Chain A
């Protein structure tokens, strides 16, 4: 029993937790931006897959790592534009379009993978982002290794949270995005275009989701394989709710979920096969549902979430 407890005080556990959290942080921030503007983006799972492949393939074809990130972001933004075009000016059901985008993006990704790599049986590897310890800070015990000995992409994830939080709460643009998710009529009456704001938010959010996907291939597994997103996108949708649509709280949620995940892997080793491992795999999800029930019951969601806005409608 003490062994199970001691896991929490090992640096490797926290390093893993932060690494597992990183893609979730990107994608959660992306989803949060979309939802704050009033658009539920269920395309997230597919957009992450597309980003994972686009980033990896850019590097595999000889591009450098940051170019890969940029290509992943652009791919995500393109799928975001598709999603936004259907849901914002055309006002179609956000559920149906989102699931459609996920199916389309996932299938297109697999199709392209087979098209460009018809011969391979085992997924080829790329040279991924390397850990970049930050001088002095990385020397702090446990915390230093967990937070300051990660890859640049993980640092970028944390910077993204700060930028999203500042952007939403401190800038006129963020104000407009939040207002579009609360009451589009208020935005229109102040002379701004709800359509432009929502399209922009969905494209930006989708770009972040794709970078989250790219993290998996470029900073974690080093190669692309099918089903690698494995429900991470759906978890991010829950994390947005868990975070009550606030970037800081959503960050805490992402780290919490990742910690559960890292913990169950280690717990499997400690218990040494006595308990079926599937039970441990289940653990983070069960705990997430529990946390969601406790936290999200009181959450105030954006009032115009999933409500299409058509100008001049009677």
Chain B
């Protein structure tokens, strides 16, 4: 028996380096029984690295982890599990083609047994699910579950192994506001049973709602610690970012013409991806249209449609009042549609090609970069240099391979590539995901400047605060359909959340 005051978990001066980067710099803290600690910090502050060390996915360069007074051997997830540490990863670690039961039972029985008792395991999962409000069918295949249900499976995985310490890495990033409330209710039940929780997040309101104590990480260091009871948003934000944060100023702009119009557009089946179902949308010059919605509700199909990557099976696409019949990426580009893709690594750039090659990749056919079928590398290089200068990109040279750039710098280059030709329509899909606060406000500033110039912008984002702050009109996407648009300030966060969840 441990006494009530002894910590269940103790991290002592954990340090972890990745090459020249110090991801964790001598971090120490204790976690008490029944306590909820929030680990607050920006992307790249080192939160996930720290938790991966605790769980044994990474080996720390220095420092020790103690659970219930016993040191954990480094780099051994099994030891962490056996000691009662459960982790819900930000990117779920579930096998999609297997059932809930199989995912939960994996690794819980001796591999040399000749059979395993499905009925008993099912009963156990059902009991845990009922006790903690984690309803999910043990026989269902993971691929058929919603994101919220998958997260419940992840929590059940830990509870099935009798976890006493639960680590949740950005658990609300993929949830609707309503699912988030259900998660919080579950977490409160767990705490009531004596579990301790580490809640990793960069969302201040959630941290204030769920935790007893907040630890703030900045650039790999513990920059502050507060009792949640006495803490304020402003104080925590300043600790997290290291400076005061101001919301972007959105000036008034005169409306322009309708630059892109979708009328009754549906798209075909594409694997398990949500298709568009009778979508109508107008993008107007001088306006930012914000598209809110939970990931996987058709945003990807809409973005691909506008970029020309997907053709409509029904409905029409009109550009400047002209119906376009032959819709392809090239038509879209030549019609002046610029895109900032959702995944800058997979789609936005070609990692092993140079910065110069990457910035001309959408315009290599234009006369400024090619003459009689030959590329003009001098022009490409000087264009890259121009973007590096104008968009404040930290980059050794136009010859550098683009994958060596940080996320923020890569995004600035993509932004420059998209905005430099003064496009009439800008498709910005998750333009600030994974960026730090400085880079985010830079991207927002550039998008607002394009709006000022009269471009029509479609901002697709899962960050509701971003949508609310920037958009002139807000549309909510759910199950491949669009809601009626609302003007700035017309709908409350609560109303939008309801629409995101598919109600109303």
Contact = CB atoms under 8 A, between A and B. Distances in A.
B107 A191 contact: yes
B401 interface: no
Interface in A276-297: none
Given A178-B98, A186-B95, A192 B18 contact: no
Given A171-B113, A175-B106, A187-B106, A312 B75 contact: yes
A182 B94 CA distance: 9
Given A182-B95, A189-B89, A312-B59, A173 B112 contact: yes
Interface stretch (B76-84, B456-464, B471-479): B76-84
A188 B89 CA distance: 12
A186 B77 contact: no
A298 interface: no
A183 interface: yes
Interface in B72-107: 75, 77-78, 80-82, 87, 89, 91, 93-98, 102-103, 105-107
Contact of A182 (B57, B96, B113): B96
A243 to B, nearest CB: 16
Contacts of B108: 172, 190
Nearest to A183: B95
Nearest to B113: A172
A305 to B, nearest CB: 12
Nearest to B114: A171
Kindly state the interface size class of chain B when it binds its partner: 35 or more
Contact of B81 (A170, A171, A190, A303): A190
Interface residues of A, number: 24
A39 interface: no
B383 to A, nearest CB: 32
A190 B89 CA distance: 12
A176 interface: yes
B18 A190 contact: no
B155 to A, nearest CB: 13
B263 interface: no
A300 B141 CA distance: 13
Given A173-B112, A312-B57, A314-B18, A182 B107 contact: no
B157 interface: yes
B111 interface: yes
B78 A192 contact: yes
Contacts of A300: 97
Interface string B60-75: 0000000000000001
B116 interface: yes
A300 B96 CA distance: 11
A186 B103 contact: yes
A172 B98 contact: no
B107 A176 contact: yes
Given A186-B95, A192-B106, A172 B111 contact: yes
A25 B84 CA distance: 44
Interface in A176-213: 176, 178-179, 182-183, 185-192
A192 B110 CA distance: 11
A46 to B, nearest CB: 30
A191 B82 contact: yes
B77 A172 contact: no
Contacts of A187: 106-107
Interface centre among B57, B77, B78, B111 (most CB of A within 10 A): B111
Interface centre among A173, A182, A189, A190 (most CB of B within 10 A): A189
A179 B57 contact: no
A205 to B, nearest CB: 17
B490 interface: no
B58 interface: yes
B2 interface: no
Interface centre among B18, B93, B96, B102 (most CB of A within 10 A): B93
A189 B18 CA distance: 22
A98 to B, nearest CB: 24
B235 interface: no
A27 B102 CA distance: 27
Nearest to A167: B114
A114 interface: no
B109 interface: yes
A125 interface: no
Contacts of A178: 95, 98, 102
Interface in A135-177: 170-173, 175-176
B205 interface: no
A311 interface: yes
Interface string A296-314: 0000101100000001101
A172 B93 contact: no
A171 B106 contact: no
Given A173-B111, A192-B78, A311-B57, A186 B106 contact: yes
B130 interface: no
B348 to A, nearest CB: 19
Contacts of A191: 77-78, 80-82, 107
A279 B71 CA distance: 70
B115 interface: yes
A186 B98 CA distance: 11
Contact of A186 (B58, B59, B75, B93): B93
Interface string B108-127: 11111111100000000000
A78 B227 CA distance: 59
A189 B169 CA distance: 14
A190 B96 contact: no
Interface string B240-268: 00000000000000000000000000000
A170 B93 contact: no
A184 to B, nearest CB: 9
A175 B59 contact: no
B95 A189 contact: no
A171 B116 contact: yes
B97 A176 contact: no
A189 B59 contact: no
B44 to A, nearest CB: 12
A190 B75 contact: no
Contact of A192 (B52, B80, B82, B107): B107
A173 B112 CA distance: 7
A266 to B, nearest CB: 41
B102 A179 contact: yes
A179 B98 contact: yes
28 contacts: A170-B116, A171-B111, A171-B114, A171-B115, A172-B108, A172-B111, A175-B106, A179-B102, A182-B95, A182-B97, A182-B98, A183-B93, A183-B94, A183-B96, A186-B93, A186-B94, A186-B103, A187-B107, A188-B77, A188-B93, A189-B77, A190-B157, A191-B80, A192-B78, A300-B97, A302-B97, A312-B57, A312-B75
Given A182-B95, A191-B81, A191-B107, 10 more contacts: A170-B115, A172-B107, A182-B98, A186-B106, A188-B57, A188-B93, A189-B89, A190-B107, A300-B97, A312-B58
Interface of A: 170-173, 175-176, 178-179, 182-183, 185-192, 300, 302-303, 311-312, 314
Closest 10 CB pairs of A and B: A190-B107, A191-B78, A182-B95, A173-B111, A189-B93, A183-B95, A172-B109, A185-B93, A191-B81, A186-B93
